[in-house]
Amino acid sequence: MTVPSRELRNAFGRFATGVTVVTCRNDEGTPHGATVNAFTAVSLEPALCQVTLTRRSKACGYLDAAPFAVNVLGAGQVDTAWHFAGRPSDPGPEWTEGPTAPVLVGSAAVYSCRPWRTYDGGDHLIVVGEVVQIEVTDAEPLLFYAGAFREIGPRETGTHWGGSLDCPEAGWFDAATRFTPLQPQAA
């Protein structure tokens, strides 16, 4: 049984994701970017992350064995997301030079990557990069859910453990409990 593409796309859209712009250089050396929400942390040792791009995107062709950066967009960067998703704005986003590829000014986080591996992903290309440098800010991330850009809501306070036996304040043991290590029994 084949799942209709539109139904699958709608189902995938029920998973909230962050929004990134993958940046690199085009064949002429000019900075280029593509809005991508298929971003994943892969490994800590070695430091790897992956992005998945549609094979129809220009960026897909520019990433063949080329360095790139993954710019995690902040909540105030909806215009930047649209700019690199095919609705360019004038003036466009501000660029700066990164350690491996051009990066966007104002991102919540930036992962500068060397090429690691590329894999077939059907109508997409899976690009894994070795993270060589990171830049992190306190900016809240931009999210994408059900076909729309969103922001994180207010943080819950004090109720996250409600009803859980694992709660350090109300579970089997409170946070102040100290345990004596087990001693081997004498034979």
| pLDDT grade for 70, boundaries at 50, 70 and 90 | very high
The predicted model gives 114-118 an average pLDDT of 95
Please give the tally of structural domains in the chain: 1
Q: Write out the DSSP string of 83-147.
A: HTTT---SS---EEE-SSSEEETT-SEEEEEEEEEEEEETTEEEEEEEEEEEEE-SPPBEEEETT
pLDDT of residue 41: 94
In a domain, 116, yes or no: yes
Whether the predicted pLDDT of 161 surpasses 70: no
CATH number at residue 42: 2.30.110.10
Q: Tell me the pLDDT tens digit for each residue of 162-181.
A: 556 666 665 555 556 666 66
Whether the predicted pLDDT of 54 surpasses 70: yes
Q: Domain range spanning residue 63? A: 5-151
In a domain, 160, yes or no: no
| pLDDT grade for 129, boundaries at 50, 70 and 90 | very high
In a domain, 140, yes or no: yes
In a domain, 109, yes or no: yes
